[in-house]
Amino acid sequence: MNELLPKLSTVPEGIHSPSDYLSYAKERLPPEIWRYLEEGSANNVSLQANLHVFDSIHLIPRPLSDVRSGHTQITLFGQTLTHPVILAPLAYQRLYHPHGESASAMAASAQEGQFCVSSLASQTLEDIISAAGQPLWFQLYWQENRERTLKLLQRAIAAGYSTIVFTVDAPIKQATIQLPAAIRPVNLDFPTPFPTLSPQQSQVFDGWMAQAPRWEDLAWLRDQISLPLLVKGMLHPEDAEKVINLGCDGLVVSNHGGRVLDGAPASLAHLPPIVRTISGRGKVLFDSGIRNGRDIYKALALGADAVMIGRPYIWGLATAGAIGVAHVIRLLRDELELTMALTGTTSIQEITKEKIQISRNQDPD
């Protein structure tokens, strides 16, 4: 087995795009951790669909435009962000670097952006937000029942987390790993033992799904907090409509990076109909498949208010810790700015569907 290369303390030479970090990260992670990060589920059908759908969208150059006042600033839930790139909630980040989630938090803050911390973080919620030096978002997984869920939620709120992202599309997680002894979800109580099932019962229906949240639980959760609440894992317009009707502040269009239901459509394919359904009544964020600034532009043109990135910033984390994550964010912003400039666009609000061209018979709508 090849010996792993050490983490870097500076940005490596020759990095021009987030994808350039991929090979550096792979050389610094054990094979089983690399597979856990990079693979989706089953045959990776949804993972590949997330990437390929962006190829059906073309950018329209608009030379001679005056873009000297251009910027990428947005406002989300009362916070002004310098760019629309939010670090998605990825679990167990000490798998990738000893500084774990704290490094990602520092990088997001340094780049004047936002980081959504996973329920499955490998560092305490308090230490992570202290490293950031600013309010962060918290991604909530349902904790078997309302009492345990509320306990975790109240801890996050007490620590200063300002927005809650409730992930609902992964009651059964297929992308799993045997964690090293020193890494665990430190913010969670030990789960109750899995219920003993009779031979006639289903492990899925009577086991996992018996502990999964339902619509009435989302309604209850909305009543517990006054903070902004988003629901992550939406692909169907009818579900998006229910989320908004229950009083949530928005949602995240996502297929969980292709890590749950293999065969689910590309997230981008279902962004436009959900945007039409929401019709300005809540924020719509996009997740799954973003790899560069052009992808960000395309998602925004199809109606997203902001985007979440996942694997690319972990490549930076695995390579060079906080410096690597910050550099990935900066590269994405630079690529977005370049795309905006060459399409005659001076603000995020100007990125509309009229700015792109969609290949015939491949409309993501």
Contact 33, 269 (CB under 8 A): no
99 among annotated binding-site residues: no
3-state secondary structure of 218: helix
300's CB contacts (< 8 A; 6+ apart) are 84, 307, 348, 351
CB 41 within 8 A of CB 338: no
In which residue are the tokens 């292709």 written?
258
Residue 295 labelled as part of a binding site: no
In our burial notation (b when 16+ CB lie closer than 10 A, e otherwise), range 167-191 reads bbbbbeeebeeebeeebebebeeee
Whether 206 has a binding-site annotation, put simply, is no
For the chain, the first-to-last Cα distance in angstroms comes to: 46
Residue 321 is labelled as binding a ligand: no
Is 141 assigned to a binding site? yes
In degrees rounded to 5, what are phi and psi of residue 297? -60, -45
Q: Is 259 annotated as a binding residue?
A: yes
Determine if residue 289 is labeled as part of a ligand binding site. Answer: yes
Pairing of strands 283-287, 229-234: unpaired
User: Which residues, in sequence order, are CB contacts of 13 under 8 Å at separation 6+?
Assistant: none
Residue 287 in marked binding region: yes
Q: Does 290 belong to an annotated binding site?
A: yes
Tokens 């600033």, residue located = 73
Is residue 127 packed enough to be buried (19+ CB in 10 Å), middle (13-18) or exposed (0-12)? middle
- In angstroms, the CA 343 to CA 21 distance is 27
Instruction: Report the C-alpha gap between 326 and 31 in whole angstroms.
Output: 25
Residues belonging to the active site: 256
Report d(CA 102, CA 119) in Å as an integer.
14
Task: Consult the annotation and say whether 185 binds a ligand.
Answer: no
Ligand-binding site membership of 119 (annotated): no
Q: Is 232 labeled as ligand-binding?
A: yes
Tokens 């792979």 correspond to what residue? 26
The phi-psi region of residue 250 (left if phi > 0; otherwise alpha if psi is between -120 and 50; otherwise beta) is left
Instruction: Say if residue 118 carries a ligand binding annotation.
Output: yes
User: Alpha-carbon distance 163 to 314, whole Å?
Assistant: 22
89 labeled part of a ligand binding site: yes
Would the annotation count 36 as a binding residue?
A: yes
Residue list, annotated binding site for FMN: 89-91, 118, 139, 232, 254, 287-291, 310-311
Residue list, annotated binding site for glyoxylate: 36, 141, 167, 256, 259
Residue list, annotated binding site: 36, 89-91, 118, 139, 141, 167, 232, 254, 256, 259, 287-291, 310-311
